[in-house]
Structure 1
Amino acid sequence: MKFLLEVTMDDAALARDPAGELGRILRYWGGNLHHYPLRPGDGSVICDSEYREVGRWRVADQTK
């Protein structure tokens, strides 16, 4: 399996403070991962501090 996290960094809060926003995203999602079984197909959208969708994370089968 692979854990994939993709974030678009050229918009709004991420463009203003990339390190701060990425740090917040990683802390938030890292703290919530226990809510997921982390099997292929699991995933969710990622929002910035202004609640705008800026990416997704997902668990993928290694063969895909």
Structure 2
Amino acid sequence: MKFVLEVDMSEGAVAADAEKELGRILRYWAGNVRHYALTAGDESAVYDSDHRDVGRWRIVEGP
């Protein structure tokens, strides 16, 4: 299985300060990881500090 995180960095808060926003996204996700089974098919939206949907994380099958 793979953990895949995709974040659109082309606009919004992420575009304005990518280092800060990506750090915040990763900290938020890591703090909530215990709430997910982390099995193939699990996924959720990723939001920036302005609460805009900027991507997704997901668990997929495969190498």
TM-score range, shorter chain: over 0.9
Partner of 2:39: 39
Map 1:1-64 → 2, pairs under 5 A: 1-62=1-62
Structure 2 stretches lacking a partner, 5+ long = none
Which ranges of structure 1 fall in alignment gaps of 5 or more residues?
none
Aligned mates of 2:17, 2:3 — CA distance in 1: 25
CA distance in 2, matches of 1:33, 1:59: 12
CA distance in 1, matches of 2:15, 2:30: 22
TM superposition outliers: structure 1 runs of 4+ over 3 Å: none
How far the C-alpha of 1:62 sits from its partner, in A, is: 1.1
Deviations 1:7-45 (A, max 9, x none): 000111011100000000000001101100100000100
RMSD (Å) for aligned C-alpha atoms: 0.8
Q: How many residues align?
A: 63
TM-score, scaled relative to structure 2? 0.96
Counterpart code for 1:44:
S
Instruction: Describe the SS at the equivalent of 1:25.
Output: helix
Work out the percentage of aligned pairs sharing the same amino acid.
Answer: 56
TM-superposed CA distance for 1:3, in Å, is 0.2
